[in-house]
Structure 1
Amino acid sequence: MVVKIRLARLSKRHSPFYNIVVAQARSARDSKPMEVLGTFNPVPQTPLASAHTPEKVQNPTTGEMEDYKPRKYKDIKLDITRTKYWLGVGAQPSEGVQGILGLLGLWEGRPGLREGQGMGGRGAKVGGKETRAQKDT
């Protein structure tokens, strides 16, 4: 039984929202999962202003005072202990979940990067001319 950690879409059209779930590899994307580990909202959210939010900040390059613009964020909520358990048992994360786990420091390496692939993502170019020459002879 192959177990995967993947995203299951919950929302309607044009407003994505995902559950991070543990499911069998052959089950459908939106079928009932074995366990829900957390949620992921890929739409950038603007943080709400509080009493401690400054109105003006100093620009580090020019030194002038400018209006404060808060940084947008993508909301990720994840049960880290259960995620570590499933990774330890051998569950394989999908490419999207690898990126999320990489942001949280639970997965090493870049998402989608397999052995022998370089920066282009289309396979290794190491020894390409030698390999072609060997095939021709």
Structure 2
Amino acid sequence: MPTIKKFQVTFDCAEPERVARFWCEVLGYVVSPPPYGFATWDAFDRSRPPEDRGSWFACSDPSGVGPRLFFQRVPEGKAVKNRVHLDVRVATGLVGEERLAALEAECTRLVGLGAVREQLLYDGHGACIVMRDIEGNEFCLD
């Protein structure tokens, strides 16, 4: 059996393009090219029935290393804690106050984009900050 190395992470959400653009800013990702045969996402959306317009959107790592993120509209809102979440690695290799400062700086930037800070987990050495994206999905700054 071959080992699978490529995968995408799929988010259920109410506003796919809005959430995708938020994650582009968080991760330094770019909007994925529109589906084959379309010059723009707007052209693709205009080709679809009105009820399907804006029903999905995608973004990707410009270096090609990270997974593609796919956002699909679902009718129900988020009701419980995520079973899977992203850890955004912004302080790798840092410890103590230096780690905490890097996490706090990134937290401030993401709050400016619409994220919500939930909780700081800090033991004097290791730390992470639990946050929520613009639709309430949990993620951690690590």
TM-based fold match above 0.5: no
Instruction: State TM-score, norm by structure 2.
Output: 0.26
More relative contact order in 1 or in 2 (CA 8 Å, sep 6+)?
2
Q: Which has the larger radius of gyration?
A: 1
Determine which structure has the larger helix proportion and give its number.
2
